[in-house]
């Protein structure tokens, strides 16, 4: 029987806003927006050729595929609009303020006799221009609300859609 075990726990990564961070975030958002634009272009090119071929054999199926493609493009555009809005918010951040950049995992050792609340206590790492300036422990673990995080991750979870051929 083991006397201890290593567990994973989330750690909040906070950043102190500096001009360098604002520039870095602006570049990250711009890249994510550009990726969405490229995906929309790829979707248009691939779909145009496929729908044209499909129209020759099954007009109803072609119309259904076209609707599916338009829905995907709307989803991409919504993600792009959200990224643009978040990019604007970044520019309005005050220097010295703290923002949440995301979460990372850490490992913690827990042994027989340990207080579980102490081991599971939330941990935050605070950085200024990628240099760790503070490590904090918080009571009660961590919870990050999606609207608290400043990151261009919205657009990156969008997969390039595949068009199912009949």
- Burial class (CB within 10 angstroms; exposed 0-12, middle 13-18, buried 19+) of 93: middle
- Tell me if residue 43 falls in helix, strand or coil: helix
Instruction: Tally the domains of the chain.
Output: 1
pLDDT of residue 41: 94
- 110 located within any domain: yes
Q: What domain range includes position 127?
A: 4-157
Can you give the length of the chain in residues?
166
- 153 located within any domain: yes
- Of 91, 76, 66, 96, the C-alpha closest to 33 is 76
Segment (H or E) for 101: strand 98-111
Q: Find out whether 135 and 35 touch, Cβ atoms under 8 Å.
A: no
Query: Which residues sit opposite 137 in a β-bridge?
Result: 123
Does 163 or 48 have the greater pLDDT score? 48
Q: Would the pLDDT of 148 be above 90?
A: no
What sections of 58-110 are H helices per DSSP? 59-91
Average pLDDT over residues 9-38: 95
- 49 located within any domain: yes
- 86 located within any domain: yes
């Amino acid at each position: 029987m083991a006397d201890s075990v290593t567990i994973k726990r989330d750690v909040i990564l906070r950043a102190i806003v500096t001009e360098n961070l604002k520039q870095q975030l602006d570049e990250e958002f711009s890249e994510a927006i550009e990726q969405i634009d490229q995906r929309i272009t790829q979707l248009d090119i691939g779909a145009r050729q496929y729908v044209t071929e499909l129209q020759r054999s099954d007009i109803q199926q072609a119309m259904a595929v076209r609707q599916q493609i338009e829905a995907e493009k709307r989803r991409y555009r919504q993600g792009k609009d959200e990224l643009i809005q978040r990019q604007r918010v970044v520019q309005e951040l005050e220097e010295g303020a703290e923002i949440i950049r995301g979460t990372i995992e850490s490992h913690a050792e827990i042994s027989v006799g340990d207080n579980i609340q102490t081991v599971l206590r939330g941990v935050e790492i605070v950085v200024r221009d990628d240099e760790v300036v503070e490590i904090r422990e918080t009571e009660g673990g961590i919870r990050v609300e999606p609207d608290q995080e400043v990151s261009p991750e919205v657009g990156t979870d969008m997969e390039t859609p595949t068009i199912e051929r009949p």
